[in-house]
Amino acid sequence: MAANVGAVAEAGRRVTESVGRVIVGKEDVIQLMLVALFTQGHVLLEDVPGIGKTTLAKALARSLGCSFRRIQFTPDLLPSDITGVSVFNQDSRQFDFRPGPLFAQIVLADEINRAGPRTQSALLEAMQERQVTVDGRTRLLERPFLVLATQNPIELEGTFPLPEAQLDRFLLRLKIGYPDDGEERAILRRFRADDPLEDLQPVLEAEDALALARACREVYVHDVVEEYIVALVRATRQTEDLALGASPRGSLSLYQCAQALAALEGRTYVLPDDIQRLVLPVLAHRLIPAAKMRLRGESVDDVLDAVVERVPVPVEENWAEGAPA
């Protein structure tokens, strides 16, 4: 198992270094996107325009040697515009299927909340089932399949807020954030002459990513760490500050993300620190705040921080004890 985990850590290092040639100073965000890739989940990037969300998605796709498509979501976008359509062929006298942009391994769904509910539902099937249904026929999507959806949290006019059921389908919600002074100067110098994205070469094959995803599932999770995950999730359901706590899908996502994060760190076992680092990106978008919490001006992140502070952190001398050899 150690060799498999070592392969995950080495692959993560190569991809992070490759994407880092384009994206400056966001190693933690890149690592969490790799967590989503190796957990076969999807990511919601929620940040203001111009931060580098599209560039990050393109750099990740090129580093992985994956096919990439970008979909600009608009109010008039139809489900068939993203899934594909059958067109009658006059020569063969048959209908030929023309696949839509969802038939790619990494799909950037730009401004997802600007599309109507029907189009969002079509994307939901693709995300959850990894398949699309057109004219009564189901077609499987290529693996790995990763949806990176962006959402502008500032401009909400003319948007269709994502329903809780669809938000819960996203494994992680990430915020890239503004660069600091040194990082912004590095961006200016890096893009001064040309675009480094054009010279990016694959450092990992798509087929290898699937094998590494299976290796992440081998990472050991101590019984006490499992109890800690359950305790954190149950605490979100019991606090009066939240109208709706995390679902069992949330606890499972936290469990699997912790395995992938530990593997990327080169460990064969999960630490409580892994769980604490993942609580916000894994659980925050799955929770619904209570009315009194909004009146106090608090955010879901504040409530989760309080939950982490309140739930006792387990203490063990050897977190790998009991792991398979």
Same domain for 104 and 63: yes
**Helix/strand/coil for 101:** coil
What CA–CA distance (Å, rounded) separates 111 from 109?
Answer: 6
Structure tokens at 246: 């995390």
CATH number reported for the structural domain that contains residue 171 in this entry: 3.40.50.300
The enclosing H or E element of 8 equals helix 2-19
DSSP character string of 72-94: E--TT--HHHHHEEEEEETTTTE
315 within domain boundaries: no
Same domain for 235 and 129: no
What CA–CA distance (Å, rounded) separates 209 from 41?
Answer: 13
pLDDT band for position 323 (cuts 50, 70, 90):
low
The pTM of the full predicted model, rounded to 2 decimals, is 0.89
Same domain for 68 and 106: yes
Across 7-25, average pLDDT: 90
Same domain for 253 and 154: no
What CA–CA distance (Å, rounded) separates 25 from 52?
Answer: 12
What would the 3-class secondary structure string for 282-306 be? HHHHHCEECHHHHHCCCCHHHHHHH
pLDDT digits (tens, 9 = 90+) for 86-136: 887 777 778 788 898 999 999 999 888 888 888 888 888 888 888 888 877
322 within domain boundaries: no
pLDDT digits (tens, 9 = 90+) for 263-320: 999 999 999 999 999 999 999 999 888 887 767 777 888 889 999 999 999 887 676 7
The enclosing H or E element of 148 equals strand 146-151
Phi, psi torsion values for 91, nearest 5 degrees: -75, -50
The enclosing H or E element of 97 equals strand 94-99
User: Within 13 A of 103's CA, how many CA atoms are on the CB side?
Assistant: 15
User: 254 vs 199, which has greater pLDDT?
Assistant: 254
Ranked by mean pLDDT, the top range of 53-67, 80-94, 128-142 is 53-67
Same domain for 225 and 174: no
Mean residue pLDDT of the chain comes to 86
Same domain for 195 and 93: yes
Least confident of 52-66, 123-137, 240-254: 123-137
Asked if residue 204 lies in contact with residue 279, where contact means CB atoms within 8 angstroms, the answer is no
